[in-house]
Chain A
Amino acid sequence: MSSAKNININLKIWRQKNAQAKGSMETYKLDNVSTASSFLEMLDQLNEQLINDKKSPVAFDHDCREGICGMCSLYINGRAHGPETGTTTCQLHMRKFKDGDTIYIEPFRSKAFPVVKDLVVDRSSFDRIQQAGGFVSVNTSGRTIDANATPIPKHDADRAFEAAACIGCGACVATCKNGSAMLFVGAKVSQYALLPQGKVEATQRVLNMVRQMDEEGFGNCTNTGACEVECPKGISLENIARMNREYLAASLK
């Protein structure tokens, strides 16, 4: 038998008509929210209510709704992806909240993540950082070598895999008091730096990705460790230290 029940909640949500408009926090009351519903389903329910009331629904990002795409991006009650650690917003459920709670919902805040509308932010700065070097150049003429033909120490393969688990959601930037993207870039640099296939372009990769990161207007990392705690994929600060080493070594070449 389900232990789900219905709760009534108050929502304080950032509303912003478009990128140029001045936004503000608006208050909504939402009744009969099932604690079995997901947080995004709760927002769907709010939007139904708003549409029925002839009001504009709240725009928010989502896609897979199973924690792997990195699209959802909400700052809930002062934390990226909400009160649970190691999860994305789409994995958050209303059973984490109590009847009568007031829930603050804001977009990820960063100069490099401008608000498009309401809770939707433009995270294409991450794409540009990736394009600056977050790849391995491969000759696709048909004479490629099977990746498994290159022996890789288990330890390195595991570390590379852990770094590659980054879904690029931007929670690290959102939660960092400095708006730094170093956990994201550190993960992307590390996933290649640890593998023999990535070493060929390692020098230019780290220099170009860090340059692009700085150009996008992200802040400077001060090692608070908040990014590591809030990352839904558990990306470690070890990746930032590795990026720093890679960058220093590349700078001296």
Chain B
Amino acid sequence: MAKSSVLSSSIAKKVAMALSGLFLISFLALHFSINLTSVFSEEVFNSCSDFMGYNPLIQYVMQPVLAFGVVFHFVMGFVLELQNRAARPIAYAKNNGSANSSWASRNMIISGLVVLAFLGLHFYDFWFPEMNYKYVEALPQDPTRYYGELVHKFESPVRTGLYCLAFVLLFLHLWHGFNSSMQSVGFNNKFSRALHKLGYAYAVIVPFGFIFIALFHHFNQ
């Protein structure tokens, strides 16, 4: 069988979707760990952020890889969604999906679209200003500015609310996504139950941890 048909097969696409998801999950854990330091120490948060913002390996290797991972994950998500819709041209007049599967598993495209919209807001809030600071205005490196920028963004109750709403949808996306990724790469053995618990724990701790951080800075102005 030609390698091209193997790569375009449903299983290859499923595995690619899972691997890009697991990559984003690992990045999210790093992002969360750094943000969490802002609750405990302004200095630690500033130094971590400055390292992430100016380390050449992170800036010129990991950042493009991350950008590719994000774009690949949502483009592939749309492609699979369209193919899946085409696989059932006529919908059921009555369908009881909740009888056999969770809302989160059936609506990954909805939770994914909300997370994607949130990414737009997040880039508007942090990434574009960062690019402007470093490359447009070419201002000097200031390792003390990050905490203030973060806290300033959470002054607005509307923005804080939008962030919290997006994190709830992120929780739903991860609730299914983490364990689904492991199943897709073929992981289903005696360790599956423990891994499922780890996946559910991750899906709760990280998004609700982000909500805690957002609310902490909102009410700690």
Contacts and interface: CB of A to CB of B under 8 A. Distances in A.
Q: Do A and B bind each other?
A: yes
Nearest to B3: A251
A214 B10 contact: yes
B15 interface: yes
A210 B92 contact: no
A112 B87 contact: yes
Interface in B85-121: 86-97, 99-102, 105-106, 108
B89 A244 contact: no
20 contacts: A77-B96, A78-B95, A78-B96, A79-B100, A83-B99, A111-B87, A112-B87, A204-B1, A219-B86, A220-B13, A220-B14, A221-B10, A222-B180, A223-B105, A224-B101, A224-B102, A224-B106, A237-B188, A241-B188, A244-B14
Interface of A: 12, 14, 25, 75, 77-79, 83, 104, 106, 109-112, 175, 177-180, 182, 204, 207-208, 210-211, 213-214, 217-226, 229-230, 237-238, 240-245, 247-248, 251
Interface of B: 1, 3, 5-6, 9-15, 80, 83-84, 86-97, 99-102, 105-106, 108, 176, 179-180, 183-188
A61 to B, nearest CB: 18
Contacts of B92: 75, 78, 106, 109
Contacts of A251: 3, 6, 12
Q: Is the interface of B mostly helix, strand, loop or mixed?
A: helix
Nearest to B182: A241
A126 B9 CA distance: 18
A244 B11 CA distance: 7
A111 B9 CA distance: 18
